[in-house]
A and B are shown apart, each in its own frame.
Chain A
Amino acid sequence: MAMAMAMASRALLLLKGATPTNHRRLLFTRDIAAFSSSIPPLHARLDRAIVRSCSTSNSPSSLEPPDLPRLAATARISLTPQEIEEFTPKIRQVVDWFGQLQDVELQSVEPALRADTDGDQLREDVPETFDNREALISSVPSYEEPFIKVPKVLNKESE
């Protein structure tokens, strides 16, 4: 169940679109592919956990159908009309799946936000210099000593 929740939050993030820069676009597409393929095994897993069967993916969803162009704009991702057409049903599938998840009876279940580990998992306030800074800088798409150039992300809406 914890894993399902982790996946769920990840999918939500995906839906809401939090990938900031254009070079992550690849990642985005790949994630969708990875995600769609991971749905069936999850379904199987969930079937055991929930009372009501939810194997049908076209049951009526209580969530808004996704508005792909808006989602893409929120995530600062540019999609071609073809891509929008291609992704819309996939995203819709994810949203519908959440519609099903919402029906799961969780009253008596403690929220599992993360895989908590024992111990406080803190570190001392002792500086350590990361020694492969060169590799970090060299992987930056656009670097102008000493600044990292990033795509314009502010005031996008007003353009």
Chain B
Amino acid sequence: MALLLCRGIRMYPPLLNYAAFLRRKSHVFYCAMSTTEAQTATQGSQSTPIKISPHRKEKGLDDVLKDYEAIIGIETHVQLSTLTKAFCSCPYHYGSQPNTNICPVCMGLPGALPVLNSKVIECAVKLGLALNCKLNIKSKFDRKQYFYPDLPKGYQISQFDVPVAYGGHIDLDLPVEFGGGHRRFGITRVHMEEDAGKLLHSGNGRVPLLEIVSEPDMRNGIEAAEYAAELQRLVRYLGVGNGNMQEGSLRCDVNISVRPIGQVKFGTKVEIKNLNSFSSVNRAIDFEIVRQALLLSEGQDDQIVQETRLWEEGSQKTVTMRKKEGLSDYRYFPEPDLPGVILTKDYVDSICNCLPELPEVKRRRYEKMGLSMQDILFLANDVNVAEFFDATIAKGADVKLAANWIMGDIAAYMKNEKLSIDDIKLTPQELAELIASIKGGTISGKIGKEILFELMAKGGTVKGMIEEKDLVQIADPAEIEKMVDKVLLDNPKQLEQYRGGKTKLQGYFAGQVMKASKGKANPGLLNKILLEKLNAKS
């Protein structure tokens, strides 16, 4: 956290005051909010006026924030990784030239009729089930009417009063560095729709989307960011989309209101858009909480208006985009050009039976295996890493050792080489072999590490490499003794110094012996024999 704080200051010097205390603040606030409801409720009514001096201002802000709670709900749009658009067979490629993949349907020409991509229903059912939702066996599409430059037919095909899935929840574990803890957030609904805003930019409008609406269950930036991260994980585990926030394949709109603790009525709701990373979700919310809580504490409630605000990454602020837009009138009505969507029990069952192990189940399984939460969150974060880990332990590798290798040297290598775990040449089979070879004493840990890097870069097998390079660990005491004797004989001066009391030289001798063995001497045995010999005649 301290590190983040420093970076915040360095990157945004003009905002030093506000941004800095905001960063600091959010953490403190988080701690307060992450405790149980009962605890936060008791924290009310001890408000202290805001102090003016910069240093004490932070303290004052803590006190102000202590009296308020934020209510946060998120609408997430997930772009599905289908080959074609939602309602026509035009191919979809991210980043292709504008207006290349078009047809009368996606151009909204009169008389052209939409036909739903079956893959969209499949993805919706998968995600609905994964979010523990109930499914509407009969749902339908509706027209949502509004104007947008990239909406030639004047309406977006969406689902209004009967979404495909509703009433679910999502479970997640907060990162250890943010205090940890398990959370369950409600899912209001999941519905299918076509993207309305892509044609202009990429020539690829009308891409299918799933919109996921959460219950207003989140209380701070971290919870919201972790909710979004868990949704991304789910989308990737299920393979329904790539969940890439930078290219807009996963978009979050946040609704947030702040109210005094103990007040039943919700505060005025503000929507934040333009959040293209988890950290911007986190920071935008914490900024907004501070902004609204300060206004409330100063009696300026009327300054908080129902509006849409944009998160500005450069200035680390939210700014007004649209004010008082009134209740938008989308004039929904049932889409007459599309038949209703009917899910049969067989269809739902067949999807249910093919669902992969989901992140939450995986995390709980890893927990039972005895891994620490830090390990669990790392391994379960990326579905490919998790699969690699699972495959490694399926080959009999020690659980903790496998986790350590993956999170340590393998992760570092992937990061340096900018590779994913599927790109490296090391197979789970060979990692298991490597771990077994070290554990069984065939090779030393040091040599194991060298082999690992070769395996990751070039592939091959542990056995092959040990044979080829003659790397089998020397564990024969007689052989090691011979090497120790030779080193002692070759270094009479150092031996004398050692026996004169400079015992630190043991490391020097150990190094020489290890060098003579080309790194193959069993370190434990080496040290034992070396020590005996060094101390023998003193």
Contact = CB atoms under 8 A, between A and B. Distances in A.
A121 interface: yes
Nearest to A121: B339
A125 B148 contact: no
A20 B115 contact: no
A122 B155 contact: no
B251 to A, nearest CB: 19
B194 to A, nearest CB: 14
B103 A136 contact: yes
A154 B102 contact: no
A150 B107 CA distance: 13
B99 A150 contact: no
Given A125-B117, A130-B90, A130-B102, A16 B340 contact: no
Given A125-B82, A130-B104, A18 B331 contact: yes
A21 B99 CA distance: 18
B94 interface: no
Most chain A CB within 10 A, of B117, B154, B340, is at: B154
Interface residues of A, number: 37
B470 to A, nearest CB: 54
A152 B148 CA distance: 9
B333 A13 contact: yes
Interface string A102-145: 00000000000110110011111111111001001100000000
Interface residues of B, number: 47
Contact of B117 (A27, A76, A123): A123
Contact of A126 (B83, B331, B339): B83
B342 A120 contact: yes
B97 A146 contact: yes
Nearest to B110: A27
Nearest to A127: B91
Interface in B316-364: 331, 333-340, 342
- Chain A interface main SS type: loop
Contacts of A148: 99
A125 B119 contact: yes
Nearest to B93: A127
Nearest to A135: B104
Contacts of B342: 120
B117 A122 contact: yes
Interface of B: 82-84, 89-92, 97-104, 107, 109-110, 115-119, 121, 140, 143, 145, 147-149, 151-155, 200, 203, 331, 333-340, 342
29 contacts: A6-B336, A13-B145, A13-B331, A13-B333, A18-B154, A20-B151, A20-B152, A20-B153, A20-B154, A27-B110, A113-B336, A114-B334, A120-B118, A120-B342, A121-B339, A123-B89, A124-B119, A125-B117, A125-B118, A125-B119, A126-B84, A126-B89, A127-B90, A127-B91, A127-B92, A128-B90, A130-B103, A133-B102, A150-B149
Interface of A: 6, 9, 12-13, 16, 18-21, 27, 76, 113-114, 116-117, 120-130, 133, 136-137, 146-148, 150, 152-154, 156
Given A114-B334, A127-B91, A129-B90, 15 more contacts: A12-B331, A12-B333, A13-B333, A18-B145, A116-B340, A121-B338, A122-B115, A124-B118, A125-B83, A133-B102, A136-B103, A146-B97, A146-B203, A150-B152, A153-B147
